[in-house]
Amino acid sequence: MTQQKKLRVMELFAGVGGFRLGLEKANKDLFDVTWANQWEPSRKVQHAFECYIRNFPNGTHSNEDISEVPDEVFQDYASDLVVGGFPCQDYSVARSLSGEQGIQGKKGVLFWEIERVLRNTHPKYVLLENVDRLLKSPSKQRGRDFAVMLATFNHLDYVVEWRVINAADYGHAQRRRRVFIFAYKKDIVFDKEQRELSMEDIVFKKGFFAKPFPVKEEPYQGRVSEIEDLPNDRVFITDNYSYGFHTAGVMRDGKFYTAHTEPVAIDPTPLRDILLDEAEVDDKYYLSEEEEKKFEYLRGAKKVERTSASGHKYFFSEGGMSPTDSLDLPGRTMLTSEGTKNRSTHIVEVNGRKRYLTPIECERLNGFNDNWTEGMPDRMRYFCMGNALVVNLIETMGRRIEEIDKANTLEAVQLELL
């Protein structure tokens, strides 16, 4: 039997290691994370990085601004797969002053660091995660930023698939919608196979996402866009281009197909299934009478008169929401503000008592092992889980990458025998 070679992995913007954990759960013997970068600007204590190295002692760990990492480092750790979750920022580009040095991305935008990594390492696969509003940003020129990204991948000879996935639609415990982007090099075996299919079949039936995350055969309310040429010039895209990208799509050779897909949903995991036994919950997580009153106000309907900086008076209105989170539904999207007392904070009622979710329960909402973030203050444990992705989704995607790469291994063996 042909032995599948290990896939060298580079993890960018690693956080507390959700990508790595998901890949290792898929196949720890296949995915070998050789280099990982995590750096939180303006923080004296790098809690996420410390959590990462505690849970993953193997490999090279980088705790520095990625923009300061030399190209030679990326070249030394050239990988088969690059993964990472990165901020939704302004991806606009401009001509350099000389007009001869190509384009210049806006300083500090982390996507350009991803591009730099890809230019220096040429991995076969790229798997990224972002908030779903990426597909519609900026608001005044919708779709521009994502078009710049697609054009960048096209320049680097990648085919790209994307899909907005709500983890709860596929059996998990959190209603968390994120866009996932999978890019693969042209001319690998998977690309040759996919080129035998229509783009519609790739999105709905046989693409990277369609097989493990099935969708209905017809687009939601007929929302589909025909194949269209993407401009080659990213400066032109910045200045002029907008497009209504849907929740799923594929881009190949500068042409793309995009549709609003509907999941073939699996029953989600209800919140009650991830809660600790109440005997294990510390008293500090239960609400005082004062806190209960505060949340009644925060989560209740309100209409409040306010005055703007210019002196203009207006009314701020907010609809009501349930005073506690239903234990029979998956949890709402966890935010980085989970550790503060705000309207979006999860409040559960068990045996007639209201309380916050514990840090362990927040870890479970994202599919992490219990006490993954142990050792940092509770406030930071909540913050890190608000930043994290749902590990179970990456585990599923990892198995899909394993399946795809087996074909490359087989082809390599066949070529050796010729």
Catalytically active residues are 88
Q: How far apart are CA 21 and CA 397, in angstroms?
A: 12
Residues 6 or more apart whose CB falls under 8 angstroms from that of 138 comprise 90, 144, 145
Q: What are the CA-CA distances from residue 313 to residues 104, 241, 308, 317, 318 (Å)?
A: 43, 38, 6, 13, 17
- Please, what is the end-to-end C-alpha distance for the chain in angstroms? 18
Q: What are the CA-CA distances from residue 327 to residues 200, 330, 366 (Å)?
A: 38, 7, 16
In the block, residue with structure tokens 């890809």: 118
DSSP state at residue 274:
G
Query: What six digits make up the tokens of 401?
Result: 């990458």
- For the four alpha carbons of 37, 39, 44 and 45, in that order, the dihedral sign comes to negative
Q: What are the CA-CA distances from residue 178 to residues 146, 290, 389 (Å)?
A: 14, 35, 8
Distance of CA 152 to the CA centre of its chain: 19
